[in-house]
Structure 1
């Protein structure tokens, strides 16, 4: 049976004042991000998700990284491979949308050649996030950005929270267990290994259809 319940994680954390990045780079936008904090940034596309990850690594040091993106460009894939080779990425896992090989076959092959099938899972997804962890840090990046740079209004939320990072890594692990390491067309992830939340109440709307409120 298809898994149709939503997944959520609620946490307490200290929040820095949101800011709009009109001209600055990722390192400046995240300059005051620290342990136990959450920083929210709106950008006009001055930096990419990969730029943000590199700015976070400057704080955390070498870390294990799992990231999800709808699309990626060649330059960002090469940067990822360099960070893995230089051991700034201690490990790296990708979740990409299953349409990526059809939309960008050249980049998909580059992704496969650089990182191998064991580091990649495709599924039907539009989520963009990264989880960056080591012995001292547990960072979750939630963003509207794909891995590639895009000059438009984008959002970025960076949180250091162990419980949240653990929950996000459970999501990544579940997708890696459910999906096969290939570029075939797939349905949305079932997430059968994760408990879902159920509606608090039911309301009926037309033709006997029930919806949660």
Structure 2
């Protein structure tokens, strides 16, 4: 899988892709992440990519021309399944969206900044708009990192145990059940006996029951809660 990210602050994305699971995914050639500096594509002096908005108002807007030129240049190299704009007014990211996108081959992510991008970019280039929550960040870079992580860990071979992702929270709209590890007793706090019984069927039943209870208590808004 290949993910290209278009941003005015590529340095913000150096850390998230250089460690842990995504680092291993890149080293195993299971995931390619390419971060592109938007200013490299602008025809304007001094790397300008933003301007004041028509009609007045506070805040700058990312200009149509640099973004259009950047996207078209990248499209000459890669055929993208989706061109995604990270924006607070996009559809809210959830596990199902991550699952869907993990099946794609090539994605292009556009990081917004300032007051956002010229609407013509959204109308003529963007195929999907995604938000990571109902709040505003300084730019789309952190959102792009979150989306890339959520997608990348689902690619077959990325996790050492591929069944791990299938039991994550929000798969089947349920939160994950409680988990325990050694020692079996600490300060009088004991691990539930069922987890020590050695019966996979009983353990699976207990975990499902706990997932349902936890979801009902903490996220009753989820459809299957």
Same fold (TM over 0.5): no
Question: Which has more strand, going by share of residues?
Answer: 1
Question: Which has more helix, going by share of residues?
Answer: 2
User: Greater CA radius of gyration, 1 or 2?
Assistant: 2
